Amino acid sequence: GDSVTQMEGPVTLSEEAFLTINCTYTATGYPSLFWYVQYPGEGLQLLLKATKADDKGSNKGFEATYRKETTSFHLEKGSVQVSDSAVYFCALMETGGSEKLVFGKGTKLTVNP
C-alpha cells in the first residue's frame, strides 16, 4: 500500500539555520504530495502541496519539490525562526485510488534563539 517515510526527529536548530526534512514515498500511481504543520496543542495546517512531478510547492519561506525519479518531497527553508517550532508531517493522496491522505510519522522541529 501507499506509505510515507520521514526522517526521524527531533530536529533542533538555531535561529537562521537552514532546514531540510526528508520525505520519501511509495505509491502505485501518481499521488499528490503535501506538507502539514502542527503547532503545539493545535490541529494540522496545510503548509504546501504539489500535484505532479517537478512541481514546487512553497509557503511562508518553506519549499518542497516533487521528485518523481527519487520519489521524494523534501521540505526546506533557508532561515528558520523560533516561530517555526512545530511538528511537520509529509503526506500523500493517490488520485483515483483510496483518495485519502496517508501521513508520515512526523518530524518535530525545535528552533532555539
Contact footprint for other proteins (CB under 8 A): 32, 34, 36, 41-46, 49, 89, 91, 93, 99-101, 103-106, 108
CB of 21 to other proteins, least distance (A): 14
Beta bridge partner(s), residue 5: 24
Taking the least distance from each CB to other proteins, the nearer of 17 and 71 is 71
Cβ-based nearer residue to other proteins, 96 or 113? 96
- In the chain, what is the straight-line distance between the N-terminal and C-terminal CA atoms, in Å? 41
**Minimum Å distance from CB 49 to other proteins?**
6
Q: Residue 84 — φ and ψ, nearest 5°?
A: -85, -5
Bridging pattern class, strands 107-112 and 11-14:
parallel
Nearer to other proteins, 19 or 33 (CB): 33
Nearest distance in Å: CB 73, other proteins:
13
Dihedral angle at the C-alpha atoms of 11, 50, 83, 17, nearest 10 degrees? 50
